[in-house]
C-alpha cells in the first residue's frame, strides 16, 4: 500500500476517489499507513492511563464500567476538539499538510475523499462536532467522576448528537453512491471496511448504549420524584 499509492493515484496526481476528484495542492504522505494507524491507536490508548489516575484520586472505588464511560468521553473530547477541530480549521488546504494530523487525515481520506475536496457537509459536520461535542464530552467525563446531576442529561444530548451526525455521515455517502454513482472510497476494500465502516461504527454503537443508560436513569429519577411527591401529599 505504501509504494505505488504514495507515488501516484487517480489520474497520476492524487490517490483519492472518485477519479478526477478536485483535490488541490496534494502532497504525498511521508509516513506509511501502518505507522500512522499505530501512532493514532497508541495515542488513543494512552489516554486511559491519566483518566484512570484522575478517577482513582477523585472518585475512589469507581466501578470499571463507569471508568470506561469516563475514558470514552475523554477520548471523544480529544478526537472531537483536537483532531476534528484541526480539520475544521485547516480544511481549505488539507491535501498539502504534512504534520501528523494532516497525514492522518490524508490517510483516512483514502476511504472518504470528501475530506480533501472541501465538501460542505463534512466541513459543517466536523465543525459542529468540534465546537459542541468536544467540550461537552470533557464535561461528561467530569460529570461521571463528580457524580454531577447534569451527567445524564448532557450525556444524552452528546450521544444523540454523535449518533445523528454519524448516521447522516453514512447515509449521505451511501445516497450519493446509490443514486449518483459517486464512490468516495478507493476500490481496495480495506479502506472502506476498516476506515469508513469500522472507525465510525463506534459512534453508532456506543452512543446508543449510553443513550439507553441515560434514558433509564432519567426515567428512574422522575419515577422516584413522583413517588416522593405522592408520599408527601398523602402525609399532609
The three cell numbers locating residue 143 = 460529570
Give me the torsion for CA of 41, 191, 129, 25, rounded to 10°: 100
Give the model's pLDDT for residue 234: 67
Coil/strand/helix, residue 206: helix
Given this model, what pLDDT does residue 3 score?
43
Residue ranges in the chain whose pLDDT is less than 70 = 1-12, 230-236
- Distance separating alpha carbons of residues 77 and 135, to the nearest angstrom: 6
* Apex 10 CA angle, 22 and 171, nearest 5: 65
H helix intervals, the chain? 3-7, 33-46, 48-58, 64-78, 85-90, 100-108, 120-128, 134-146, 151-180, 189-190, 199-235
CA end-to-end span of the chain: 76
Please report the pLDDT score of residue 1 as a whole number.
40
Cell 468540534 found at:
130
pLDDT at 7: 41
Residue 86 has what pLDDT? 98
pLDDT of residue 13: 87
Amino acid at each position: 500500500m505504501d509504494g505505488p499509492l504514495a507515488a501516484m493515484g487517480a489520474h497520476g496526481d492524487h490517490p483519492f476517489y472518485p477519479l478526477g476528484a478536485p483535490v488541490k495542492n496534494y502532497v504525498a504522505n511521508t509516513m506509511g499507513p501502518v505507522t500512522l494507524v499505530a501512532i493514532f491507536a497508541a495515542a488513543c490508548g494512552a489516554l486511559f492511563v491519566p483518566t484512570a489516575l484522575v478517577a482513582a484520586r477523585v472518585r475512589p472505588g469507581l466501578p470499571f464500567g463507569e471508568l470506561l464511560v469516563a475514558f470514552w468521553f475523554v477520548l471523544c473530547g480529544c478526537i472531537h476538539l483536537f483532531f476534528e477541530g484541526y480539520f475544521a480549521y485547516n480544511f481549505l488546504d488539507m491535501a498539502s499538510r504534512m504534520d501528523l494530523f494532516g497525514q492522518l487525515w490524508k490517510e483516512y481520506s483514502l476511504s472518504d475523499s470528501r475530506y480533501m475536496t472541501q465538501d460542505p457537509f463534512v466541513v459543517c459536520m466536523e465543525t459542529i462536532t468540534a465546537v459542541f461535542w468536544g467540550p461537552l464530552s470533557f464535561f461528561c467525563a467530569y460529570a461521571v467522576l463528580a457524580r454531577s446531576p447534569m451527567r445524564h442529561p448532557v450525556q444524552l444530548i452528546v450521544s444523540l448528537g454523535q449518533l445523528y451526525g454519524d448516521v447522516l455521515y453514512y447515509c449521505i455517502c451511501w445516497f450519493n453512491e446509490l443514486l449518483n454513482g459517486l464512490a468516495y472510497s478507493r476500490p481496495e476494500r480495506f479502506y472502506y471496511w476498516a476506515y469508513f465502516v469500522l472507525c465510525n461504527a463506534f459512534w453508532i454503537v456506543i452512543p446508543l448504549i449510553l443513550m439507553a443508560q441515560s434514558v433509564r436513569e432519567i426515567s428512574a429519577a422522575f419515577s422516584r420524584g413522583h413517588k416522593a411527591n405522592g408520599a408527601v401529599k398523602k402525609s399532609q
